Amino acid sequence: MTITKDMSILEVVQKYPDTAMVFMYAGMGCLGCAAAHFENIEQGCMAHGIDPDALVDALNEVVEAQENESTEHFESDSMEQVAVAK
C-alpha cells in the first residue's frame, strides 16, 4: 500500500505503527490530538509548515522497510529532507 497525502494521519499510524517516528521527527508529535483523527497528512503538514511530499516519501520508505522487516536499521535521506523542508 502506498501512503498518500490525502490519507488520515491516524489511519496511517494505526496501520503502520513505525510511521509514528517519521511524524514525530517531522514535528508532528501530537499524534494523539483531536486533529489527528480527522486531518489528512496534507492538512497536518500545512498546519505545521511541513512539506507534504517529503513527508509522504519518508512515510512510504518506512512502510517499505517494515514490509521488508528491516526497520531496525532504517536510515533515510527522506527523513533529513522532511526536517529541512520545515
Asked if residue 4 is part of any domain, the answer here is no
CATH number of the domain where residue 59 is located: 1.10.3910
Asked if residue 2 is part of any domain, the answer here is no
Q: Which of 58, 16, 71 is nearest to 8 (CA)?
A: 16
Asked if residue 77 is part of any domain, the answer here is yes
Domain span including residue 63: 9-85
> C-alpha cell of 38?
480527522
Bridge partner residues of 58 (DSSP): none
Reported as a single tens digit per residue, the pLDDT across 19-74 is 999 999 998 877 777 777 788 999 999 989 999 999 999 999 999 988 886 545 55
Query: Do the Cβ atoms of 6 and 16 come closer than 8 Å?
Result: no
Q: Based on the structure, what is the number of domains in the chain?
A: 1
Asked if residue 73 is part of any domain, the answer here is yes
Asked if residue 1 is part of any domain, the answer here is no
0.85 cut: is pTM over it?
no
